[in-house]
Structure 1
Amino acid sequence: MLQEAQGLLKKYFGYDSFRSGQTEIISRLLNQQDTVGIMPTGGGKSVCYQIPALMLPGITLVISPLISLMKDQVDALEKQGVSATFINSSLSGDEAWKRLRDVSAGRYKLLYVAPERLEVPSFLNRLLQLNISLVAIDEAHCISQWGHDFRPSYRLIINMIQSCTVRPTVVALTATATPRVTADICDLLQIGRKEVILTGFARDNLYFQVIKGQSRRVFINEYVRKNKDQPGIIYAATRKEVDNLHHFLKKEGIQVGKYHAGMSEEDRQKNQEQFLYDDVTVLVATNAFGMGINKSNVRYVMHYNMPRNIEAYYQEAGRAGRDGERGDCILLFAPEDIQLQKFFIDQSEMDDVLKKDEYHKLERMISYCHTEDCLQSYILDYFGDQSSERCERCGNCKDERKRQDVTREAQMVLSCIKRIRERFGKTFVAQILTGATNQRIKDFGFDQLSTYAIMRDRTQKDVSSFIDFLTADQYLIPSGGTYPTLSLSQKAISVLKGERQVFKKENIKAVKVTVDDALFENLRAIRKQLAAKEMVPPYVVFSDQSLRDMCAKLPSSDMEFLMIKGVGQQKLERYGEAFLRAIAEYQEKKEASL
């Protein structure tokens, strides 16, 4: 059976061998063994049920939480020659019933549905009449109240499975499950806890970095400009912040779209499609709103605000580099994000037990932002994947910046805040320190302080940035509210007493994610033209990984083209001629220039 599975992998998906965990999960499903698979994003979870779907009788039912992800996966499968369809709220009632009849007639091997469909009795009754061999539950962490994205409708899945005339095999898949959530998935789906296949959470192609104590907008602008041709996602915590960032980047001449719940469904879909089709390079979106992006060539994911927990962060950051190529995962930390996330927890409808759990998760997220240890090891440890090895590529592992002693400047700021009795915020403190002459300072008599104008040789912007550094390094504690005030921590008091020194590293500079050559750019242009003709996203034609493999191997025949990662028979027949011609022309020009 595995030999047949490997043949199908090559024929339809263009890969010679399975990745870690895929062989074991596929073998179990073909032997009708229920399985829970914990695999990292981009680790090939979908292949674990798509290959068995081609081998098993009847259909494979895929429960997927996001409408856009369903469409993307179905589009990709169709281009690979696999018959698949979806039924969700984007279809009219007539079209949904037509597709269900086509499934019943055996025209499809995979049917994708949203879990909320199981709440509709008429749909559920028709569904139970189908010959369902396998039920694949994507984003299985949604079934657990301890997970970061609980969906009550996921609790209906087990009832549907038990109502089938012949019980189908079940596979539950997720990339972000702590040991507690994994146990919950097993219990709620009645799958033995020994039936869990855990391949590890590490993504060797992801580069994690936390940036704090420097201007977030300056860094974003610099980074996006250096990577203007690379697709990226920027997450923010609120709609207002998304709108502001979108306006800022658009004003800077960046091709940018946005996505949040305050937009109409039509506008959201338009912006998402522009990003998927490479018509805009950057998409700014809210963390809280479910944006399903299956785009494989996202080169970076930036978080403008700190997310509430590690699960949500790793899920979103994991959208970078799904094609196996390098992906940058950058978190831009600011201390006020802590108060914002606490506000979200307090305003939620969770009971006290869940709120306490969320506060604990938030503390772990805050610790991630402050740790000086390996960032990937910190994440792996959170998920129970014990690893003592440093990744040697994250921002902390690779940090070679020199430290500068800024104790004297820190004492100036801290002393000023103490003298104004810790009652004011960053902007006002910076105005006092730089010697501003506004009426408010005079009314309070702060122009008579010994710290007034003590940093007059610096701009207010520079002093504000330095205050951000002191806050990020926990010398200052911001209060909650719209206009947070600053108070001194115990660390700060030690600095004022001369018992502790303060060191500041240089600001982190933005770098290019990848350096693309002329052939790659030419192949990418051809990919975009072909995708436009077929009205699919470019990555559905070929991933960046496939294009880079073409650049490395320079295939000159159909047989050599079939050896490229991600090239199966169907894609050879559809696209082989165009890409082989482009590679041959590149070779001819190169030889002529020698």
Structure 2
Amino acid sequence: MQQKETILKQYFGYDSFRSGQAEIIDAMAEGRDLLAIMPTGAGKSICYQVPALMDEGITLVVSPLVSLMKDQVGALLQAGVRAAYINSSLTPGQQQEALRRAMMGAYKIIYVAPERLLTPAFLWFAETADIRRVTVDEAHCVSQWGQDFRPSYLSVAEFIGKLSRRPVLSAFTATATAGVRQDILALLGLEEPLVYMAGYDRPNLEFCVEQPRNKNLALLGHLRDFGGKSGIVYCSTRKAVEAVCEFLRQQGIAATRYHAGLEDAERRANQDDFLYDRAEVMVATNAFGMGIDKSNVSFVIHYNMPKDLESYYQEAGRAGRDGEPAKCILLYSPQDVITGRYFIEHGRDEEEMDPETRAKVQEQASERLKRMTFYATTTDCLRGFILRYFGETAPSECGNCSNCKDGFETVDIAPAAKQVVLCVEQLHRLGRAYGKNALSAILRAAPGAKATAASTEAFGTLAGLSDAALRAILDALVREGYLAVGEGEYPVLETTEKSEEVFSGESLTVKLKVATRRAVRGEKAPTEQSANPELLAQLKALRLSLARSAGVPAYAVFTDATLREIATHLPRTNAEFAGIKGVGTVKCNRYGEEFTAAVREYLEKSN
């Protein structure tokens, strides 16, 4: 059995493992089942790819998306690893040929869609071949209580049960609450597994939440600040994707789009344009991105609020996978909550469930949406909010999120709160209930205020406040439990058991944002640090040319971080090049001469 450190250096070009990787690899090499919860960017794939190369036999990797498999296999082939995938993108004849080659020992790692596991041809192959390990990637998809339930994942345990010789089983995911973790353990049938939980924190990510008046202008400002770097803009609907992508193109930004309503060919072409850096911005629904291993994503902007923190953290985590500073920005508006409620109540995923299960799933989805809304409106540290949601302790301030940087002021809102609660109560007695927009108009006696509310005592009592200031107070009252958002079709405000406390005569202090510094939008994104920026630009051009010749994304040749290492350490020989972080044996032999020649040429011109 080869040593894991040797394989890490030979194929992946690294001298040491990241935190937790060695422990996970050792457990798998010893034949132990495993569940690993590791945030995006923590190096999950290394954990199951290295054991696959340490000894004989084949490793199967169950993966949910065609794009994920294509991306992973392409990167492995560049590193000199014999790998393949079997999914619906292959014709029946191609699948048969892939299985024939696999039987002959052509591959060490085979990625397979869960829908293929129980087909007669694949079962025959799995029973006949030397399958040593089965790894389930994106394992949270097996749980119906999670955010991405896929019924096909339930076939994994049945597939394992049909094999006469049980392989070592491992499961990996980036996000999983305690309930989802228990589902993974039970539904996949893991036997006495090592359960490894890495910290959820991603220190290189800066989290920001904004409530802009005009999302398009805010988005455009951010993209101009990022100066052509690669990033993703997530929208909640196909219609929004189309509108935002068209807007960005009109502004001269190289944007492309991705959603389930596009033809397969266009989705593949658009995804490749983004992966190969022909388009700098991908505008997409959540149909895009699971498992996309693009290392140089410098920002993820959510044009709409996602349905839950699990989805948000997984999508936001696609930024900064190379460890470089990156931004995760949420452009929040109350309309996002209404859209989220609509998707919960009309979700197609629940159509085949029995009424009791469907009701339970929707109830849990509503609770997750509520927590997501609290994140979007909180005055606390954003990073701390996320970490505590996933069961981790966190400091009160991280210093690297918009809430910690912007500053808040503790304000006594008792006078305004009394009028708000009074208004809600009086409207209830009139048989009326309204959302935040309508209540703000009523309390300020603004044009368009509901005529039926004009007779209430609270009508116009807060006319001196701006809509933004009153909305901040309403958000705070909901966040602190003095009001609640109803569970009906429309997000109307209702009183709670705590509502009467605002009339106690005591001050009611909450934190509200004040203009203590310039808004996050407009600040420059983290700048790229390199000792030789001119050489770095030349190396990127060389990498792009080599990648196009090989038919792979640029980052599959070398990541930006590796190029910065080259530009800093200036290797002039293959021996020196082999010592660069991220340069493995195969890539050194394949690309060493071109890159060292570029360094030598740069040094000659500089002298």
Would you say same fold, with TM above 0.5?
Answer: yes
Alignment match, 1:127: 126
Q: Secondary structure at the match of 1:204?
A: coil
Name which of 591, 594, 597 aligns with 1:578: 594
Alignment match, 1:99: 98
Amino acid at match of 1:10: K
Alignment match, 1:202: 201
Amino acid at match of 1:144: S
Question: Which segment is superposed worse, 52-61 or 255-264?
Answer: 52-61
How many angstroms does 1:150 deviate by? 0.9
- Say whether residues 1:512 and 2:524 are aligned partners: yes
Aligned equivalents of 2:437 and 2:374: distance in 1? 23
Question: Which segment is superposed worse, 244-253 or 509-518?
Answer: 509-518
- Say whether residues 1:538 and 2:554 are aligned partners: yes
TM normalised by structure 1 equals: 0.85
Seen in structure 2, the aligned counterparts of structure 1 residues 556 and 389 have a Cα distance that, compared at 3 Å, is farther
How many angstroms does 1:546 deviate by? 0.8
Question: Which segment is superposed worse, 527-536 or 96-105?
Answer: 527-536
Aligned equivalents of 1:464 and 1:584: distance in 2? 62
Aligned equivalents of 2:361 and 2:133: distance in 1? 33
Aligned equivalents of 1:107 and 1:130: distance in 2? 12
How many angstroms does 1:404 deviate by? 12
Amino acid at match of 2:122: F
CA contact (8 A) 2:379 2:512 kept: no
Q: Deviations over 1:390-432 (max 9, x none)?
A: 43322223334x869999xx99x99xx99999979969999x9
- Say whether residues 1:211 and 2:210 are aligned partners: yes
Aligned equivalents of 1:521 and 1:471: distance in 2? 50
Amino acid at match of 1:256: A
Alignment match, 2:404: 397
**Aligned pairs (5 A) from 1:357-506:** 357-388=364-395, 390-400=397-407, 504-506=513-515
Q: Secondary structure at the match of 1:173?
A: strand
How many angstroms does 1:479 deviate by? 9.3
**Aligned pairs (5 A) from 1:72-471:** 72-192=71-191, 195-212=194-211, 214-287=213-286, 292-348=291-347, 349=350, 351-388=358-395, 390-400=397-407
Q: Deviations over 1:46-78 (max 9, x none)?
A: 111111111222211110001001011111101
Amino acid at match of 1:8: I
Seen in structure 2, the aligned counterparts of structure 1 residues 289 and 537 have a Cα distance that, compared at 3 Å, is closer
Q: Secondary structure at the match of 2:368?
A: helix
Alignment match, 2:544: 528
Seen in structure 2, the aligned counterparts of structure 1 residues 172 and 276 have a Cα distance that, compared at 3 Å, is same
Aligned equivalents of 2:325 and 2:387: distance in 1? 19
Aligned equivalents of 2:253 and 2:474: distance in 1? 31
Aligned equivalents of 1:582 and 1:260: distance in 2? 40
Q: Which runs of 5+ in 1 are unaligned?
A: 456-462
Aligned equivalents of 2:436 and 2:391: distance in 1? 40
How many angstroms does 1:586 deviate by? 3.1
Seen in structure 2, the aligned counterparts of structure 1 residues 222 and 567 have a Cα distance that, compared at 3 Å, is same
Q: Secondary structure at the match of 1:397?
A: helix
Seen in structure 2, the aligned counterparts of structure 1 residues 159 and 56 have a Cα distance that, compared at 3 Å, is farther
Q: Secondary structure at the match of 1:334?
A: coil
Aligned equivalents of 1:197 and 1:426: distance in 2? 45
Alignment match, 1:569: 585
Q: How many residues align?
A: 575
How many angstroms does 1:122 deviate by? 3.3
CA contact (8 A) 2:11 2:585 kept: yes
Amino acid at match of 2:57: G
CA contact (8 A) 2:41 2:322 kept: yes
The CA RMSD measured in Å over matched residues stands at 3.8
CA contact (8 A) 1:40 1:200 kept: yes
CA contact (8 A) 2:412 2:507 kept: no
Seen in structure 2, the aligned counterparts of structure 1 residues 397 and 584 have a Cα distance that, compared at 3 Å, is farther
Amino acid at match of 2:385: Y
Question: Which segment is superposed worse, 380-389 or 532-541?
Answer: 380-389
Aligned equivalents of 2:99 and 2:155: distance in 1? 20
Q: Deviations over 1:233-278 (max 9, x none)?
A: 0111111111111111111111101111111111111111100010
How many angstroms does 1:319 deviate by? 0.6
Q: Secondary structure at the match of 1:148?
A: coil
Question: Which segment is superposed worse, 320-329 or 373-382?
Answer: 373-382
CA contact (8 A) 1:478 1:486 kept: yes
Aligned equivalents of 2:30 and 2:47: distance in 1? 13
Question: Which segment is superposed worse, 88-97 or 387-396?
Answer: 387-396
Aligned equivalents of 2:12 and 2:131: distance in 1? 23
Aligned equivalents of 2:155 and 2:45: distance in 1? 22
TM normalised by structure 2 equals: 0.84
Seen in structure 2, the aligned counterparts of structure 1 residues 538 and 175 have a Cα distance that, compared at 3 Å, is same
Name which of 546, 556, 572 aligns with 1:556: 572
Aligned equivalents of 1:180 and 1:485: distance in 2? 30
How many angstroms does 1:562 deviate by? 1.5
Q: Secondary structure at the match of 1:197?
A: strand
Q: Which runs of 5+ in 2 are unaligned?
A: 351-356
Amino acid at match of 2:599: I
Aligned equivalents of 1:138 and 1:382: distance in 2? 23
Seen in structure 2, the aligned counterparts of structure 1 residues 164 and 252 have a Cα distance that, compared at 3 Å, is same
How many angstroms does 1:197 deviate by? 1.4
Aligned equivalents of 2:374 and 2:156: distance in 1? 36
Aligned equivalents of 1:478 and 1:257: distance in 2? 37
Aligned equivalents of 2:556 and 2:127: distance in 1? 32
Amino acid at match of 2:372: M
CA contact (8 A) 2:70 2:85 kept: yes
CA contact (8 A) 1:232 1:298 kept: yes
Question: Which segment is superposed worse, 355-364 or 55-64?
Answer: 355-364
Aligned equivalents of 1:434 and 1:564: distance in 2? 66
Aligned equivalents of 2:561 and 2:224: distance in 1? 23
Question: Which segment is superposed worse, 112-121 or 4-13?
Answer: 112-121
CA contact (8 A) 1:59 1:134 kept: yes
Q: Deviations over 1:145-202 (max 9, x none)?
A: 1221111111111121122222111111111111221122112222246521122212
Amino acid at match of 2:208: Q
Q: Deviations over 1:529-552 (max 9, x none)?
A: 111111111010111111122222
